[in-house]
Copies of this chain bind each other. A is one copy, B any other.
Amino acid sequence: MSDGDSGRKRILDSAAFILRTKGFGAARLSEIAQGAGMLAPSIYHHFKSKDEVVEEVMLSGIYRNTRHIVAKVEVLGPETAPVDRLRAAIVAHVEFLLSGDDYSSAVARSFGDLPSEMKQRVLAAYATFDSYWRDLLVAASPSGNDAQTTVARKFLIAMLDSCPSWYRAGRLGPTQIANQAADLFLGGFAP
């Protein structure tokens, strides 16, 4: 069964765009509906509540993003150095965010603002994403210090997730920003 242009998908696409651009706190159901080419009450034919729409956008975003990163890393041969695997993940994450995937950007922007019950549920999916990064960082860590790689992971993801909020198409393209992020995190600003 094709999902091509169904109402459901139009709603999710619109919600992802709104969540990416305005954030959770400012996302209005009427605006989501407008972006999907319908009026607010029509959404309830497809979803039980506004929160259900938001939650599905979050889960999709995490899933799509994780799949994209894993694919870009695992295509590298088994002989690839851990640092190069980490580099590939950084580049893949930033490129995905900046190449217009509203779902992953919605997660980057709005995850922290979700109501706590929803956040708990979404966290289960987020754990997969998080632990993949943890493994990449541990493998590439020169020190091997556990607490340090945990802090480094928090810093890294916050840094990468910020891209959609300040990036504007211009002289530097997504790939250049992505490579600079990798250079900066791995090599430092003033080595």
Contact = CB atoms under 8 A, between A and B. Distances in A.
A187 interface: yes
Interface in A140-191: 140-142, 147-148, 151-152, 154-156, 158-159, 161-162, 165-166, 171-172, 177, 180-181, 184-191
A190 B25 contact: no
A186 B189 contact: yes
Interface in A36-69: none
Interface in A12-31: 23-26
Interface of A: 23-26, 83, 86, 112-113, 115, 137, 140-142, 147-148, 151-152, 154-156, 158-159, 161-162, 165-166, 171-172, 177, 180-181, 184-191
28 contacts: A23-B112, A24-B25, A25-B25, A25-B26, A25-B113, A26-B113, A112-B165, A142-B190, A142-B191, A147-B172, A148-B180, A151-B177, A151-B180, A152-B184, A152-B189, A155-B181, A158-B161, A158-B162, A159-B159, A159-B162, A184-B188, A185-B189, A186-B188, A186-B189, A186-B190, A186-B191, A188-B189, A191-B191
